[in-house]
Amino acid sequence: MANKIPRVPVREQDPKVRATNFDEVCYGYNVEEAQLEASRCLNCKNPRCVAACPVSINIPGFIAKVNEGDFSGAAEVIAMDSSLPAICGRVCPQETQCEGSCILGIKGEPVAIGKLERFVADWSRENGGVKPQTAPANGRKIAVIGSGPAGLACASDLAKLGYEVTIFEALHRPGGVLVYGIPEFRLPKDEVVEAEINAVRALGVKIETDVVVGRTVTIDSLLDDEGFSAVFIGSGAGLPKFMGIPGENLNGVFSANEFLTRNNLMKAYRSDYMTPIHTGDKVVVVGGGNVAMDAARTALRLGAATTIVYRRTETELPARREEVHHAKEEGIEFAMLTNPVEILGDEKGWVRAIKCIRMELGEPDESGRRSPVAVPGSEFEIETDTVIMSLGTSPNPLIARTTGGLDTNRRGCIVADEAGATTRPGVFAGGDAVTGAATVILAMGAGRKAAAAIHEYVKTL
Ligand SMILES: Cc1cc2nc3c(=O)[nH]c(=O)nc-3n(C[C@H](O)[C@H](O)[C@H](O)COP(=O)(O)OP(=O)(O)OC[C@H]3O[C@@H](n4cnc5c(N)ncnc54)[C@H](O)[C@@H]3O)c2cc1C
Ligand code: SF4
């Protein structure tokens, strides 16, 4: 019986070794491992995994091709629904999506759908990739703001439909969080991200970097003067939050966004770059999400003893289990039920310690999680050279401020319907700019829905 085969484990770099380098942690499956794992899939008639995939990839369809050894066929099946499979195979929270719904997970371990997707995407890239199929040019121009997963997915679907698509990106390198946020050791930039972006370029999509929409150009000028029929906003949620406690402006306090951007985009970790970052010997990261894990694991690799401070318990940590497991294996310390109240500096204005208070869990709050309550008189100090705040992000208000008729909600997110239509006709939006910080696959799904809506909208012009 196929489902008697245990889930095939994936090979990874040794934790002690990888804690000192930025090479990818996970090695992925080889051909034999991938085919063995694929043989576990029951090819269900009503596949629950597909229903749980935000872009509805034909999962049993591509896995069956892997099982047969037809890897390019498998890549073609995935390409029908996803333009970024090597990325999604690495960073999607499969445990709560496709794998979380796999029928084999009820009594045992689900099929390793993410690792199989990654295998197929890597194999395809190394063997020439999938030949794109595009409709003839239809003479219409569409502008896409932001080159993260939402913008890339929207742009590739529109290019396949025959549109002339230009992506305007504020940074000097395209990819959004995929290049500036998620570290190299989880998602290699040149080998994986750049290759998938080049596949989007191969569809005819133009990417103009160093263009800040709202400053260099505006949405009004794109629509009124530059001949674009519609605009998609995929500008993400890159504005970091702070706690508002004393000491946050001391030297040595970073937002996780700045810390990760300086490492990933400005290569602070490489001695051949002139843009290093100073962490000192000890680093405290405040927060418990994926971003906190990435910041902590990056600080560790830069040589600092690193502690994560989180106000609830391990059960409530919002980060993926796999990331928490990897962080622990590498030697990150976790200070749970702990909340900062002040950052303390030395006489020169540099961080020397963080003052925290112990917490206990009280009644559930509106999120359903038990809310942390401070234990009076339990303050204590943790000595540290650097504090990295990882408390979430919100959308940058620049685009909303410079575009008439574009409503935002009280969290600063652009208001858009299910299909991505905003309150301004001809302007669509999706991804983190609409939902607030979420996931790569949800951003991609929103970009794809908006592409379909833009196609319908343009027909009415
Ligand atoms: C450190 C970190 C780790 C994460 N890990 C995971 C993970 O493991 N799995 C997962 O699924 N998700 C993860 N996420 C979340 C995920 O990366 C985001 O949800 C996703 O990237 C959102 O995609 P997006 O296209 O909406 O925005 P982004 O990826 O943020 O891209 C937006 C782009 O728009 C550009 N832009 C912004 N304003 C303008 C402007 N005015 N003009 C021109 N361009 C502009 C930005 O420079 C950026 O390149 C992580 C996020 C972070 C920060
Ligand atoms: S639910 Fe699991 S076993 Fe069924 S088709 Fe999907 S991956 Fe295969």
Please give the pLDDT value at position 2: 45
Grouping H, G, I as helix, E, B as strand and the rest as coil, residue 365 is coil
Handedness of CA 356, 358, 362, 367 (dihedral sign): positive
How remote is the CA of residue 61 from the centroid of ligand 2, in Å? 10
How far is the centre of ligand 2, averaged over its atoms, from the C-alpha of 161 (Å)? 31
Q: What is the DSSP secondary-structure string of 231-266?
A: EEE-----EE-----TTTTSBTEEEHHHHHHHHHTS
Given phi > 0 = left and psi -120 to 50 = alpha, else beta, which region is 130? beta
User: Residue 25 has which token pair?
Assistant: 């942690």
Quick check: CB of 296 below 6 Å from ligand 1? no
Ligand 2: centre distance to CA 49 (Å): 6
Best of 104, 106, 109 for a ligand 2 pocket test (most atoms within 8 Å of beta carbon): 104
pLDDT for 104 equals 96
DSSP 8-state code for residue 193 = I
The candidate with the shortest Cα–Cα distance to 147, out of 177, 119, 127, is 177
The residue nearest atom 7 of ligand 1, judged by CA position, is 91
Distance of CA 331 to the CA centre of its chain: 24
pLDDT of residue 109: 96
Beta-carbon contacts of 213 under 8 Å, excluding residues fewer than 6 positions away, are 145, 168, 170, 219, 222, 235, 398, 399, 402
- Comparing CA positions, the residue from 271, 306, 277 lying closest to residue 292 is 306
Q: Which residues have C-beta within 8 Å of that of residue 126, sequence separation ≥ 6?
A: none
Looking at ligand 1, which atom is closest to the CA of residue 438? 19
* Structure confidence at residue 111 (pLDDT): 98
Pairwise CA distance, residues 62 & 333, whole Å? 40
Shortest-distance Cα residue to atom 30 of ligand 1: 236
pLDDT value of residue 3: 62
List, as one string, the DSSP characters of 272-329.
Answer: TSS------SEEEEE--SHHHHHHHHHHHHTT-EEEEE-SS-GGG--S-HHHHHHHHH
- The verdict on the CB of residue 114 being under 6 Å from ligand 2 is no
pLDDT digits (tens, 9 = 90+) for 28-41: 999 999 999 999 99
For the chain, give the number of residues.
461
Extract the residue ranges of the chain whose pLDDT is less than 70: 1-3
Q: What angle do CA 125, 131, 136 make, to 5 degrees?
A: 145
Say what the pLDDT of residue 1 is. 41
